[in-house]
Chain A
Amino acid sequence: MKTKINEETVKYLAHLSRIELTKEEISEFTYQLDTILKYMDQLNELNTDGIEPTSHAIELKLSLREDQRGPSLAQEETMMNAPQRMGPFFKVPPVIETEA
């Protein structure tokens, strides 16, 4: 059967997923994902024209509530696991290029 996925695709997917992969992982995943995707192709045996998709197993009604203020976590608690912070902010590398 024709290959569905190659190393370039895996590298591109890794970029989209924001994950760096090792060389070994790229080659291993290429083979494994190809096998898994071919297995998944058996769904094409089924005619699903006119079938509504199910995104949730239960009938969900839109869950809304009154916009009332309630207790929430203190700022210090929400920040306590931050790997790096600057005062009350999460600190990250620059996301906007700045002039040198």
Chain B
Amino acid sequence: MTIKEIRERLKKKEFTSSELTRFFLERIAKYDGEIGSYIEITEGTAIAMAEEADRRIKKGEDGKILGIPLAVKDIICTKGIETTCASKILKGFIPPYDATVIKRLKEEGCVLLGKLNMDEFAMGSSTENSAFQITRNPWKKDRTPGGSSGGSSAAVATGLCVASLGTDTGGSIRQPASFCGIFGLKPTYGAVSRYGLIAFASSLDQIGPMARNVTDLAILLEIIAGYDPYDSTSLPFSPPDYFSFLGQDIKGLRIGIPKEYFTEGIDRDVKEATTNAIKLLYDLGAKVDEISLPHTKYALATYYIICTAEASSNLARYDGVKYGLRIEGKDIVEMYKKTRLKGFGKEVKRRIILGTYVLSTGYYDAYYKKASKVRTLIRRDFQDAFRVCDVIVTPTSPTTAFKLGEKIHDPLKMYLSDIFTIPANLAGLPAMSLPCGFDSENLPIGLQLIGRPLEEETLLKVAYVLEKEMKVKTIPDEYLS
């Protein structure tokens, strides 16, 4: 059922938001022990919000998601609700304000079921870097749900919320959406306010929706997108009626297939499913052409220089003074060092140290400045490509969900799992992942669509057509009941 259908049934009083919320809370109690997608279940808040929604529905009031139970990644500030970023350093942190996206969801009447697990400070591709728990892939429990929004993807795929919000710095919405067989959209940089989003790499981070269908993505995007004076990087635009693009045909749409994305290292099943989806687009009237994004192979190195540099600066604020953990020391420097030793996990420390290195005297030009220049080349590749095509189609990830523990001790190997998603972040482009089939082990395969800046509607339009044609299952049988 889509949000739109649930809203209709709430309006017709077939059930109440309180009943719906209790249904989800019961499912969380029943299944989340084995999945581990929630860090915190806000049962009391959820029931109170649902009762308020029921009162509003009774009065005939409307809201785009009035009475709909959602959950959000624990990197987004929620007033009065603990927000930890899955880090020991923020354990116990209660934000005194709501992030802009939360404020907007509340204004439209959402019910907040809880906060979802993630890699600490969104650094990781498997959700194994959470300081509190690992999350399992509902399709196969010895696999990762992807990361860093692994809690957000697993909760949606297990049916433990209607939809969720995740964040995407280098693929953290799309890769977990792909691994868990759901839909996830990273909006254009600046389209969604980052106010109240705990910063990892400010020039790359974006908040976006994750759901089991395209309609829900469109509804949520419409709510959270748009200018926000509280974020100086917010774009001055009003989101279009995304919903109106769903169902439009794609005749004549120009699809670009970048040859650099179909090289060795990509699973045979992934390649086959992607090719089938492209063929389907062709059969539906789209024009398909091979294109080239020549600097693709440099994107990963560029990304890890830029994101670690920004992280080392952003994470300097965790010093044990204003909030979070504090470990005492004989002087202030020792206090900082001990606090950060105890508070941060390995991946976070590794990235801060690397970021400090690439920004340090003597290496700044060789690494950070060089990467910023290559970022320009990567952006230009896309600008050139979008002269000859309207949408770029690629696999979301070269593989399906890998095993828990498989890459955790080899950071470079882990980083490589985001190789197809990273370029869109460097260029600030909207991109999404949608399910396009299963591999021989019944693990979901994701298809990535990349669009021009602020052309999310084109991605939604294409994804909607594929969703209707392919009818890929988005929830494992064991969680259907």
List A residues at the B interface (Cβ < 8 Å).
5, 9-10, 13-14, 16-22, 25, 29, 32-33, 35-37, 39-40, 42-44, 46, 48, 51-58, 60, 63, 65, 73, 77-78, 80-84, 90, 92-95
**Among B295, B301, B335, B367, residue most surrounded by chain A Cβ atoms (within 10 Å):** B301
Pairwise interchain contact B322-A20, C-beta atoms closer than 8 A:
no
Q: Could you say which residues of chain B place their CB within 8 Å of the CB of A44?
A: 370
Instruction: Give every chain B residue within 8 A of A32 (Cβ-Cβ).
Output: 350, 411-412
* B333 and A18 form a contact (CB under 8 A): yes
Give chain A nearest CB distance to B439 CB in angstroms.
28
C-alpha gap A54/B360 in the complex (Å): 19
B232:A63 contact, CB within 8 angstroms: yes
* Majority secondary structure, A binding face: loop
Given known pairs A13-B353, A29-B350, the reply for A19 and B344 (CB within 8 Å) is yes
Q: CA separation between A45 and B335, bound complex, in Å?
A: 43
- Quick check: A57 and B189 within 8 Å, CB to CB? yes
For the complex, give the distance between the alpha carbons of A56 and B335 in Å: 34
- CB of A18 within 8 A of CB of B375, answer no
Q: Give min CB distance, B79 to chain A, whole Å.
A: 10
Assess the B341–A21 pair: CB atoms within 8 A: yes
Beta-carbon contacts under 8 Å, B335-357 to A:
335-338, 340-341, 344, 346, 349-350, 352-354, 356-357
Closest chain A residue, CB of each to CB of B92: A81
Q: Are the C-beta atoms of B356 and A90 separated by less than 8 Å?
A: no
Question: Once bound together, how far apart are the Cα atoms of A16 and B355, in whole Å?
Answer: 11
The complex places the Cα of A13 from the Cα of B367 at a distance, in Å, of 16
Secondary structure call for the B interface: helix
Given the complex, which residues of B lie within 8 Å of A25, measured CB to CB? Answer: 346, 349
Bound complex: CA A87 to CA B393 (Å): 58
Complex CA distance for A53 and B309, rounded to whole angstroms: 15
Contact yes or no, B331 A90, CB < 8 A: no
B337 touches A18 (CB 8 A): yes
Asked whether any CB of chain A lies closer than 8 Å to the CB of B285, the reply is no
B442 contacts chain A at the CB level, 8 A cutoff: no
**Cross-chain contact B337 with A20 (CB below 8 angstroms):** yes
Residues of B in contact, count (CB < 8 Å): 74
Give chain B nearest CB distance to A35 CB in angstroms: 6
Q: A10-B353, A40-B367, A83-B324 are in contact. Are A19 and B341 (CB under 8 A)?
A: yes
**Number of A-B residue pairs having CB atoms within 8 Å of each other in the complex:** 164
Closest 9 pairs (CB-CB, A-B): A57-B428, A53-B372, A81-B323, A83-B326, A77-B96, A20-B341, A48-B373, A63-B232, A20-B337
Contacts of A65 in B (CB 8 A): 229
Q: Is the CB of A90 within 8 A of B326?
A: no
Bound CA span A5–B426, Å = 27
Residues A92 and B332 in contact, CB atoms below 8 Å apart: yes
Question: Bound state CA distance, A17 and B359, in angstroms?
Answer: 11
C-alpha gap A56/B333 in the complex (Å): 32
User: Is B312 an interface residue, CB under 8 A from the partner?
Assistant: yes
Min CB gap A54→B, angstroms = 4
Contact A14 B301 (CB under 8 A): no
User: Which residue of A is nearest B335, CB measured?
Assistant: A93
Flag if A80 contacts B96 (CB, 8 Å): yes
Which parts of B132-189 form the interface with A (CB within 8 Å)? Answer: 188-189
Contact B312 A17 (CB under 8 A): yes
Which residues of the other chain, B, contact A21 by a CB distance below 8 angstroms?
Answer: 341, 349, 353
B93 interface contact, C-beta 8 A: yes
B373 and A52 within 8 A (CB)? yes
For B360, give its contact among A16, A33, A94 (CB under 8 Å): A16
- Sampled A-B contacts (16; CB under 8 Å): A5-B357, A18-B316, A19-B349, A20-B338, A29-B349, A29-B350, A40-B371, A43-B371, A57-B426, A58-B188, A73-B97, A78-B96, A82-B322, A83-B324, A93-B332, A94-B332
